């Protein structure tokens, strides 16, 4: 009897183990069946989640403020798009520009890459070259609804489109109207504003301070050097003159050079600076921080030439890992954003960018902000050919920045720097 009693649990153990295995197997089968039935039930009304990777302002740090700012901007587009496709949701992930490529490599390696990437034109081309994004299908609609000049900026040499131009953020002057009632229209006026006590901030980054080369008429010489053309003595003098102006400006008590425009924006927002050069993608945040004291204006021109603002062209690139429904919605969204009505409404709502659709007229009379943006855009059209040949994002640009930093701190001299700058530019041809 005792032996029998002892044997009972032993006999129960394999039976219970078997039932657990059967249970697990059944649960597994049920899961597979659910997934398969789910796949077959997909229809047009199935919710579609689009993952959007977005680059925040150049060299900016991700913070609660930048996140709020970016979400506001994306919501402007998505809320309109959801009127057409209510089943679409967009999940946003913000990245620093310098980290986007490495992060996308990691995400793509796990097949978890985003469906859309919102970045600047230069980086969109780099992403496509590296195979981190897919080319945008060329449709009649994007040909008609996008400025041909802008489409050219996002096209690779082999003809593939790196992304859909979305908006243009012009480079402008941002200032505190409580300190500066009348914004400086020329470089001399800028120096006077500084001398009068206003705190002026300028970037030491080559592509962000290049606008001053336009005002001082040194841009044609820089462009010629980039094209590897022979420079006349006058061209050299103009480059030296530009570098000298930068150094002399830095010597002014109230004019300070900072690493990049991101820092300038932060300091203006905290009212620690009164006048800076900025791109209009920062207007949302600055408006929030400065309220009615916030003002914008075109960048100051020079005695002989207009400023050469470097605009930020935002494009939507297609991710690599999308499902068919995600891909079709991503393309639909990229088509949607160039729609004239959408571009106009977005421009009016955000008051921070210029549309990329050539058919959209900017209502400059009703808004000083839009008028300033339009004016900044017009002045750059004069310099666009010269600007397009100068490296603004690659290793040459970084080398030129490294040259400018000791110059503005008075460590190197403009004459010496002119030769070195020309040498660097020559390598870009």
Q: Which stretch binds other proteins (CB under 8 A): 60-68, 246-254, 266-274, 406-414?
A: 60-68
CA atoms of 261 and 311, how far apart (whole Å): 13
Which stretches within 227-339 are classed as H helix? 233-251, 261-269, 283-290, 324-336
- Residue 96, interface with other proteins (CB under 8 A)? yes
Q: Quick one: 75 or 359, whose CB is closer to other proteins? A: 75
Question: In the complex, what is the shortest distance from the CB of residue 328 to other proteins, in angstroms, rounded to a whole number?
Answer: 12
Look at residues 318, 331, 325, 329 and name the one whose alpha carbon lies nearest to residue 134. 318
**Which member of 33, 84, 112, 195 binds other proteins (CB under 8 A)?**
112
Q: Quick one: 89 or 413, whose CB is closer to other proteins? A: 89
CA atoms of 292 and 297, how far apart (whole Å): 15
CA atoms of 53 and 93, how far apart (whole Å): 5
Contact (Cβ atoms closer than 8 angstroms) between residue 381 and residue 194 = no
- x/- mask, other proteins, residues 220-239, rule CB under 8 A, reads --------------------
- Residue 34, interface with other proteins (CB under 8 A)? no
Q: Which stretch binds other proteins (CB under 8 A): 110-118, 152-160, 170-178, 349-357?
A: 110-118
- Residue 15, interface with other proteins (CB under 8 A)? no
Question: In the complex, what is the shortest distance from the CB of residue 117 to other proteins, in angstroms, rounded to a whole number?
Answer: 12
Q: Which stretch binds other proteins (CB under 8 A): 56-64, 77-85, 233-241, 421-429?
A: 56-64
- Residue 341, interface with other proteins (CB under 8 A)? no
Torsion of CA 344, 348, 352, 358, to 10 degrees: 20
Which stretches within 138-216 are classed as H helix? 140-145, 148-153, 187-195, 206-215
- Residue 106, interface with other proteins (CB under 8 A)? yes
Q: What DSSP designation does 162 have?
A: -
- Residue 28, interface with other proteins (CB under 8 A)? yes
Question: In the complex, what is the shortest distance from the CB of residue 16 to other proteins, in angstroms, rounded to a whole number?
Answer: 15
**Which member of 33, 35, 195, 361 binds other proteins (CB under 8 A)?**
35
**Which member of 59, 62, 254, 420 binds other proteins (CB under 8 A)?**
62
First to last CA, the chain: 98
**Three-state secondary structure string covering 72-126:** HHHHHHHHHHHHHCCCEEEEEEEECHHHHHHHHHHHHHCCCCCCEEEEEHHHHHH
Q: Quick one: 49 or 76, whose CB is closer to other proteins? A: 49
- Residue 43, interface with other proteins (CB under 8 A)? no
- Residue 107, interface with other proteins (CB under 8 A)? yes
Question: In the complex, what is the shortest distance from the CB of residue 397 to other proteins, in angstroms, rounded to a whole number?
Answer: 25
Number of amino acids touching other proteins (CB under 8 A): 37
- With b for 16 or more beta-carbon neighbours within 10 A and e for fewer, the 117-147 pattern comes to bbbbbbbbbbbbeeebbbbbeeeeebeebbb
**Which member of 60, 69, 73, 94 binds other proteins (CB under 8 A)?**
94
Q: How far is CA 23 from CA 15, 18, 27, 416, in A?
A: 12, 8, 6, 80
Contact (Cβ atoms closer than 8 angstroms) between residue 160 and residue 128 = yes
Question: In the complex, what is the shortest distance from the CB of residue 338 to other proteins, in angstroms, rounded to a whole number?
Answer: 25
Torsion region of 24: left, alpha or beta (phi above 0 gives left; psi -120 to 50 gives alpha): alpha
Q: Which stretch binds other proteins (CB under 8 A): 204-212, 273-281, 321-329, 367-375?
A: 321-329
176 by DSSP, 3-state: which? strand
Q: Which stretch binds other proteins (CB under 8 A): 101-109, 122-130, 201-209, 281-289?
A: 101-109
Number of C-beta neighbours around residue 84 at 10 A: 11
**Which member of 153, 261, 263, 326 binds other proteins (CB under 8 A)?**
326
Instruction: Extract the tokens encoding 406.
Output: 């000791």
Contacts with other proteins, residue ranges (CB under 8 A): 21, 24, 28, 31-32, 35, 39, 47-49, 51, 53, 62-64, 66-67, 89, 91-96, 103, 106-112, 321-323, 325-326
């Amino acid at each position: 009897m005792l032996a029998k009693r002892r044997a009972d649990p032993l006999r129960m153990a394999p039976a219970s183990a078997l039932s657990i295995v059967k249970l697990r197997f059944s649960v597994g089968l049920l899961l597979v069946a659910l997934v398969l039935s789910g796949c077959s039930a997909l229809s047009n009304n199935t919710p579609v989640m689009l993952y959007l990777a977005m680059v925040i302002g150049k060299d900016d740090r991700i913070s609660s403020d930048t996140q709020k700012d970016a979400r506001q901007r994306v919501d402007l587009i998505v809320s309109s798009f959801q009127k057409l496709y209510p089943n679409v949701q967009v999940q946003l992930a913000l990245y620093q520009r310098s980290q986007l490529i490495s992060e996308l490599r990691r995400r793509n390696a796990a097949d978890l890459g985003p469906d859309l990437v919102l970045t600047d034109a230069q980086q969109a081309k780099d992403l496509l070259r590296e195979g981190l994004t897919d080319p945008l299908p060329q449709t009649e609609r994007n040909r008609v609804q996008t400025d041909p000049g802008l489409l050219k900026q996002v096209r690779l040499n082999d003809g593939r489109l790196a992304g859909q131009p979305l908006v243009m953020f012009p480079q402008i002057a941002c200032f505190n109207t409580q300190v500066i009632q009348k914004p400086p229209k020329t470089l001399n006026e800028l120096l006077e504003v500084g001398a009068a006590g206003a705190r002026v901030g300028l970037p030491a980054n080559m592509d962000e301070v290049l606008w001053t080369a336009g005002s001082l008429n040194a841009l044609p010489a820089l462009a010629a050097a980039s094209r590897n053309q022979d420079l006349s003595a006058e061209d050299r003098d103009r480059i030296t003159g530009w570098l000298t102006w930068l150094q002399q400006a830095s010597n002014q008590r109230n004019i300070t050079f900072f690493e990049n425009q991101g820092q300038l924006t932060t300091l203006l927002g905290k009212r620690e600076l009164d006048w800076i050069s900025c791109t209009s993608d920062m207007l949302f945040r600055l408006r929030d921080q400065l309220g009615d004291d916030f003002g914008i204006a075109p960048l100051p021109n020079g005695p002989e030439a207009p400023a050469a603002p470097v605009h930020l062209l935002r494009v939507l690139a297609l991710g690599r890992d999308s499902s068919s429904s995600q891909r079709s919605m991503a393309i639909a969204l990229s088509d949607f954003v160039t729609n004239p009505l959408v571009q106009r409404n977005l421009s009016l709502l955000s008051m921070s960018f210029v549309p990329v659709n050539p058919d959209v007229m900017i209502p400059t009379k009703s808004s000083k902000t839009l008028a300033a943006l339009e004016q900044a855009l017009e002045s750059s059209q004069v310099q666009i050919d010269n600007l397009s040949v100068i490296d603004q994002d690659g290793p040459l640009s970084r080398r030129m920045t490294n040259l400018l930093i000791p110059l503005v701190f008075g460590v190197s001299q403009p004459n010496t720097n002119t030769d070195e700058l020309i040498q660097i530019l020559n390598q870009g041809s």
